[in-house]
Structure 1
Amino acid sequence: MTIELTGRVAREKIKLLEPPRLDADTLAQFEALGDASSAVSDALDALGVGGAVSGSVLRCIMPRARLVGTALTLRNAARDGDPHQLAQAKDSRMGEIECHNLARPGDVLVIQGVSGASNMGSVGGRMGKRQGERGAIVDGAVRDVPDFQDINYPIWSKEVTPMTGKWRVECVEINGPVKICGIDVHPGDLVVADGAGVCFVPRQHIAAVLAFAQKKVQAEADKCAEIDSGKSIVEMARR
């Protein structure tokens, strides 16, 4: 499928117009797990794969939010030069708008971002919401939090700031590999996020992670039912 670009970002910075996306059934099965980041993290541990980031590092702007989706990636870098002079020249080099233009339902915008300046604002969030994005993960700062809350667009980010990134941030690449809090993420990877944190699952491990997480969630539900039924701790421990 050919997508018309906005022209805001040089074409050579867009690595893939269509990243590999997960099928709706797989996403639905992960969603059925509920707050699944802990089970997914355990699955990644069992596979020897690093992919979990604490919720105290990437904090969600919305209480009790969760998401499951396919990674659509953006890599930003800090700009050189005086931001006030760049503002007067109206010289913006952000590429967030191109990501929203490429987005499809079920995508999660994953940004290797910049500290101290916003990598994403409310207008972009409204575009993303209309395109069907589930939300965003930002290793860096965002702003306009009340606006994102109003449209129910959850974001997990390191920072919140009032300062625009238009004159402080520039797009390096879209739909290439990014590093989020030390974790390598590729376009098309699975993203699972809730109040406990964020997990990134490489595509080749998604089936195994799902099978493990489903058993883990069911086992814990069974244990909770036993506790609620009054079964003794000694009996449960012997099992």
Structure 2
Amino acid sequence: MTGAADTDRGTPLPEDLNSQLAQAGSATVANLLLRRGLRNVLMTGVRPLTEGQPPLVGPAYTLRFIPAREDLDTLANYASSSNLHRRAIEECPPGAVLVIDAFGSTGGASLGDLMAARLVQRGVAGAVTDGGYRDSAAIRQTGLPCHHRDNAPRATPVALHPVALDEPVGCGGVAVYPGDVIVGDSDGVAVIPRELAPDIAAEAADTTAYEEFAAREIRRGRPLHGLFPATPESRTEYDTWVAAGRPGQEQPWT
């Protein structure tokens, strides 16, 4: 089982779906998945590399590490074109998110700046690991949206041995199947089963729009009760507001 059809998992997301999920963010996505009984979808201890970086959205392409062993993990082996870490950089599809299962280890780097630059050049949407990155300042300069646990300046072979590409992994305590849709922002990283992504995106767009209405009402002094969570009555008010052209939606918080 892959969690997504083999024919779909490498396909880039439609632009409208990508935009809806980017605007919604990881917290809204997690709440919508909770309604479907999916509780463990937010990665633990995984945060943005750079404050204010763009949202990260795309289907997962996975790499899995296990602990390194000295007879196998040499710099010579690491330099080989058959090394799965290096292959992941060259084989992650454009528009995808490289998800790296480092079993929570920051003893060696899951990624460095030259690898990040190559991912940008190849059109990859971003990278996520429950390990860490080296050359963090230089990675920021590439513009690649990245999430990790913490800085990991040591060379990869010191602690990490790559064993699998494009197979199910665990990252930040969450199961990630190839093709699952990754949504990362300032709150964290959420994982959506691929087959649910269109419905979650549509519901997220509606939820985000309703929250604009709720924020407007709160600015006007209205209490949360009867407004958030939405009620049938407040949804009717919201529909009227939308029909009127959403007046007041640009008012700043005061």
Please classify the TM superposition score into its range, dividing by the shorter chain length: 0.7 to 0.9
| Alignment counterpart, residue 81 of structure 1, candidates 59, 70, 73 | 70
Conservation of the 8 A alpha-carbon contact between 2:29 and 2:200: yes
Q: TM-score, normalised by structure 2?
A: 0.76
The residue correspondences of 1:1-239 to structure 2 (distance < 5 A) are 19-25=9-15, 26-31=17-22, 33=23, 36-49=25-38, 50-54=40-44, 57-65=45-53, 66-81=55-70, 86-87=74-75, 90-92=76-78, 94-114=83-103, 115=105, 116-228=107-219, 230-233=220-223, 239=234
Structure 2, unaligned runs of 5 or more: 1-5, 228-232, 235-254
**1:9 counterpart residue number:** none
Aligned residues: 216
Which SS does the other structure have where 2:132 is aligned? strand
Conservation of the 8 A alpha-carbon contact between 1:141 and 1:158: yes
Q: Any idea what the Cα deviations from partners look like across 1:143-162, whole Å, max 9, x if unmatched?
A: 11011101111221112121
Structure 1, unaligned runs of 5 or more: 1-15
Counterparts of 1:235 and 1:101, CA distance in 2: 52
CA drift at 1:227: 2.4
Q: TM-score, normalised by structure 1?
A: 0.81
CA drift at 1:19: 4.3
**1:8 counterpart residue number:** none
> CA separation of 1:225/1:186 partners in 2, compared to 1, >3 Å: closer, same or farther?
same
Higher Cα Rg: structure 1 or 2? 2
Conservation of the 8 A alpha-carbon contact between 1:79 and 1:170: yes
Which SS does the other structure have where 2:32 is aligned? helix
Matched residue type, 2:141: D
Larger strand share, 1 or 2: 1
Counterparts of 1:62 and 1:128, CA distance in 2: 17
CA drift at 1:73: 0.6
Identity across matched positions, percent: 24
